[in-house]
Amino acid sequence: MRLPSLKFLKTFQVAARLQSFKAAAEELFVTPSAISHQIKALEEQLGVSLFQRGVRALTLTDAGANYLEHINDIFSKLESVTEQLQVRYGRTIIRLNVPSFFANELLLPRLASFSQAREETDIRIETTFSAPKTHPPEADLSIVVGAGPWDGLIVHELFAQNFIAACSPAFLLDNRIDSYRDLNGKTLLLHEERREAWERWAAGLGIEPIKPNRLVRLDTMSAVVRAAEQGVGVALVPSRLSADRFNAGGLVKLFDAELTTNESYFLLHRPEDRAREDLQELTRWILSECRVA
């Protein structure tokens, strides 16, 4: 017999306790539709109805009530065994979700200092090419890009998301750029998720839109920055996250003017994780590193 998904069982437990798919969705940070689909899939797999769905009420069937009793016991034992395991072996795991460019440019180059200070804490880092817009339910900590708000979460603002025009020293040597107009006829690099970035940059400066001889569009910010360093063209790169590349000489800032956005990088976690000292220590470390980055 194929056992039900542990995720679906947890969804059932929360929905049964709250007697509401909507309330369960808020607690598990998913949509009510997702809760409904998971419960339906669980019922289909079991071959029994777990809930009686009324117009304004959600109640357990006899089968659902009986199943919940056993599920509560199973999860209680699982939590107890997990806690005993952590106490015995003295290790904890923090699940961190972070945009890949942020991880490559700021987090990973500095992570050794945290790892050496807290050797008993394991960190599982999951990176995403497209910056997440909300806190994933499977993460303990997450770094997202946006303007919020993120209701029901603890929020720490890290820094603003701004962009600056840059290219490689070799490209600048072959393509004299002294003014904004000198960008006309040059190759411009563009991130697919920010197709209007160059137009917004020009509008913010009050100048005519740039007329490149070619646009090269790339699907990740990491690819945009690498292409700029390899002399493919001029790019609008995240000013804060590209600081190390400017200092190392791989990229050159062309102008001081930045494209400002209404977005920032934020560090998020759930309120119930305030009591986790390992998570709070990593939070303090990330905040400190972002202040000096």
Residue found by looking up tokens 């920055």 in the block: 225
Query: Which helix (H) or strand (E) covers residue 23, if one does?
Result: helix 21-28
Alpha-carbon distances, residue 281 vs 128, 257, 273 (angstroms)? 23, 36, 12
Residue 118: predicted pLDDT: 67
- 35 & 116 share domain: no
Does 100 lie in the same domain as 26? no
Tell me the residue range of the domain where 214 lies: 95-293
What is the per-residue pLDDT for 73?
Answer: 85
Q: What is the pTM of this model?
A: 0.67
Return mean pLDDT, the chain.
89
**Above 60 in pLDDT, residue 293?**
no
If asked whether residues 256 and 163 sit together in one domain, one would say yes
Read off the pLDDT of residues 43-69 as tens digits, 9 standing for 90 and up. 999 999 999 988 778 999 999 999 999
Choosing from 59, 88, 117, the residue where a domain stops is 88
> How many structural domains does the chain have?
2
pLDDT (average), residues 144-170 = 92
The enclosing domain of 110 has a CATH number of 3.40.190.290
> pLDDT by residue (tens digit) across 207-247?
999 999 999 999 889 999 999 999 999 999 999 999 999 99
Q: Could you tell me if residue 1 is inside a domain?
A: no
Q: In Å, how far are 77, 87, 90, 136, 176 from 82, measured between CA atoms?
A: 8, 9, 12, 22, 62
**pLDDT tens per residue across span 70-104:** 998 888 788 767 766 765 666 678 889 999 899 99
pLDDT value for 158: 95
- Backbone dihedral angles phi then psi of residue 139, each to the nearest 5 degrees: -100, 150
Tell whether 118 and 57 lie within a shared domain.
no
**In terms of domains, do 75 and 103 share one?**
no
